[in-house]
Amino acid sequence: MKVIVGSEEKISALIAEEFIKQVNAKPNSVLGLATGTSPLGVYANLVKANKEGRVSFKDVVTFNLDEYIGLDGTHNQSYRYFMNVNLFDHIDIDKSKTHVLKGVGDYLAYANQYDAEIASFGGIDLQILGIGSDGHIAFNEPGTPFDSLTHVAELAESTIVDNSRLFNDISEVPTKAVTMGLKSIMNARKIVLIATGINKAKAIKNLLRGDKTEEVPCSILQDHPDCTIYVDEAAYSLVK
């Protein structure tokens, strides 16, 4: 794994450039996208580049990592809503080519064919990840099998607490989600992970210096052939 340390603004800009380079080299790239606060700076940079004419997303296909069970795409904390508001509504992408797991209705049937659908487009070329304070990636909590594909996950209490800042009250945070599995993520040809803030420091230390174990889901990335970790000084502090 390669590690790049910089300010949040710098690493967000660098990751955005990775996406711009990928799409300009392959206009019909398949991109794996994440939600949460970590990629917001990346998406803002992509919107800016698109408006400046530096990159076009009109032929791009996207797949998101996860979605809360119980929230439909119009709910302001659903990940479909997040992606529309923070990226898709502001770039020249065909929304019919953007895929976000379903949180209501036939969500289980859709989840069961998600990996096959990704494969039908040739697989993910470039995947962005955030990381949880306990080392989870997507909603793959500690103990998730390394060979897992897209599945329903019970959220750990620490994840619910971490995500409660985005809701009016912790009681509103869903306790289950549909998520791409660890094997699903590892199938991406290139991975970039962004982590900022002291609350991510232990997870980054375990990722970069710890053993590979299912109790630390992110540790599977140690085996990926093309994975770059982008961190700020606070997130990197325990490694140093």
Q: Is 134 a catalytic residue?
A: yes
Catalytic residue, chosen from 99, 136, 151, 224, is 136
The 3-state secondary structure of the chain, one letter per residue:
CEEEECCHHHHHHHHHHHHHHHHHHCCCCEEEECCCCCCHHHHHHHHHHHHCCCCCCCCCEEEECEEECCCCCCCCCCHHHHHHHHCHHHCCCCHHHEECCCCCCCHHHHHHCHHHHHHHCCCCCEEEECCCCCCCECCECCCCCCCCCCEEEECCHHHHHHHHHHCCCHHHCCCEEEECCHHHHHCCCEEEEEECCHHHHHHHHHHHHCCCCCCCHHHHHHHCCCEEEEECHHHHCCCC
In the numeric block, which tokens belong to residue 39?
A: 């990629």
Distance of CA 221 to the CA centre of its chain: 13
Catalytic residue, chosen from 67, 125, 141, 232, is 141
Q: Is 224 a catalytic residue?
A: no
Residue with tokens 């949880």: 132
Whats the size of the chain, residue-wise? 240
Catalytic residue, chosen from 8, 125, 134, 162, is 134
Q: Is 141 a catalytic residue?
A: yes
Active site residues: 66, 134, 136, 141
